[in-house]
Amino acid sequence: MEPLRTRTATVIWRPFANVVPVDTTLNTWATPPARSLTNRLIAWAPWLLAISIAARLAWTYLTPHGANFVDLHVYINGAAALAQPGALYDYVYADQTPDFPLPFTYPPFAAVVFYPLHFLPFGLVAFLWQIGTMAALYGVVRLCQRLLGGSASLNRRVAMLWTAAGIWTEPLRSTFDYGQINVILVLAVLYAVYSRRWWVSGLLVGLAAGVKLTPAIAGVYLAAARRWAAAVFSAVVFAGTIAVSVWATGDQARRYFTELLGDAHRVGPIGTSFNQSWRGGISRIVGHDAGYSLPVAIAIVVTAVLAVLAWRALNSTPAGPDVLGSLLVVELFGLLASPISWTHHWVWLLPLMIWLFYGPHSDRPGARILGWVWLTLTLIGVPWLLSFFQPTIWQDGRPWYLAWAGLVYIVGALVTLGWMATTPITSREAG
């Protein structure tokens, strides 16, 4: 018989067996000291998250340029313009942005959603917005874990670590600085994909697209995944947001969808380094807005081909479709094909890093390399650094080395899609 001491240790250890991959996958070649450091970080996760949150709030409120909340001002003050018929899309916010007075560029349904907030003190809204964004970020990490099949009860501390680190990546830094809504929208899309109830999935995607058009690309995922009921219902809900907008804003809804929707210049400067889309990247190289000219069109077609190949690779596995990986393929394509993809739109890079470190490819060196490269790029904030070398946000042209360096997220996404497309999952990895 097995000694009592051994059997007792086995019984105690078995419930925590699933923790082992989580504790050690930060480095598959880890030595015992590295594993010990990882385990310590996980043990300290609640404290590290609290320190990270406190540091972010201190940066916001105790430094001269901690946050300007310009986008949150636009959300709230623009929505307040609903009280003056016909004024929604004439509103601009220029108090802190003299180079570019910011107009209200969102669908009219967003104004309806944000309208009640203008009755509250802006400082209170801004503070609660930051806390809510941090909570949503934690929710994003937890949903990624669930989509990867991780144990919900055993991964909370790992989720805290990713949240603590994620707060300081460039997409999140710009989100906090501007008071952006993207993390909340990413959370809505992830839950839509996670939920198996078609009406919940369709409702969330439709409402998110009604607030800001970028989440509409998730409808492509629902259709490609053959979740037809959810895909159709998301379109119905989005149409419902338009109907509400027409009722609430009248001619402003017509103006948005017939005159303003395709005007990328109204959204912002195409050539600034903060625009990490193909159109932005190629515009910096050619020295003017490339529009959807032949080079941009070819780049988008190449991206679409890679995305299709990556989708097929991730959905032709012994274990069945890779849900999170497939969603990331669609979102990366959307970011590259969009006329403008600000760095705060690239919040999807955090789920991508989680997928690379913990997903079905996590044991492969390629996944590790890509994961660490993305983590390094986003913590440094390369587009942010490049912004210091552009005389104004409106200047498209720049020296060739700065123009090509401005493709950093674009090339990274293209390489990632290519790696996804060419790295099949074996039966051993699927198990």
Q: From first to last of its 431 residues, what are the pLDDT tens digits of the chain?
A: 434 333 333 333 333 233 333 343 434 334 456 667 878 888 899 999 999 999 999 999 999 888 899 999 999 999 999 988 888 999 999 888 877 889 999 999 999 999 999 999 999 999 999 999 999 999 999 999 999 986 544 589 999 999 999 999 999 999 999 999 999 999 999 999 999 999 999 999 999 999 999 999 999 999 999 999 999 999 999 999 999 999 999 899 999 999 998 888 888 899 999 999 999 999 999 999 999 999 999 999 999 999 999 999 999 877 778 999 999 999 999 999 999 999 999 999 999 999 999 999 899 999 999 999 999 999 999 999 999 998 888 888 899 999 999 999 999 999 999 999 998 765 445 54
Closest CA to 266 of 387, 96, 91: 91
Residue 368's identity, in one-letter code, is R
The DSSP line for 169-210 is SHHHHHHHHHT--HHHHHHHHHHHHH---HHHHHHHHHHHHH
What is the structure's pLDDT at 147? 94
Tell me the CB-side half-sphere exposure of residue 385, using CA atoms within 13 A: 10
Is this prediction's pTM over 0.85?
yes
Q: Which residues contact 146 (CB under 8 A, 6 or more apart)?
A: 152, 194
Q: Which residues contact 181 (CB under 8 A, 6 or more apart)?
A: 71, 75, 211, 212
What is the structure's pLDDT at 9? 36
Burial letters 319-349, b for 16+ CB under 10 A, else e: eeebbbbbbbbbbbbbbbbbbbbbbbbbbbb
What is the structure's pLDDT at 151? 54
Q: CA geometry: angle at 83 spanning 79 and 88, to 5°?
A: 45
Joined together, the tokens standing for residue 30 give: 């880890």
What is the structure's pLDDT at 424? 75
Is residue 103 within a helix (H) or strand (E), and if so which, with residue range? strand 102-103
What is the structure's pLDDT at 423? 87
What is the structure's pLDDT at 348? 98
| Domain boundaries defined on the chain | 268-431
Q: 174 and 272 in contact (C-beta within 8 Å)?
A: no
The DSSP line for 46-66 is HHHHHHHHHHHHHHHHHSTTS
Q: 393 and 272 in contact (C-beta within 8 Å)?
A: yes
What is the structure's pLDDT at 11? 32
Alpha-carbon span 300 to 294, nearest angstrom: 10
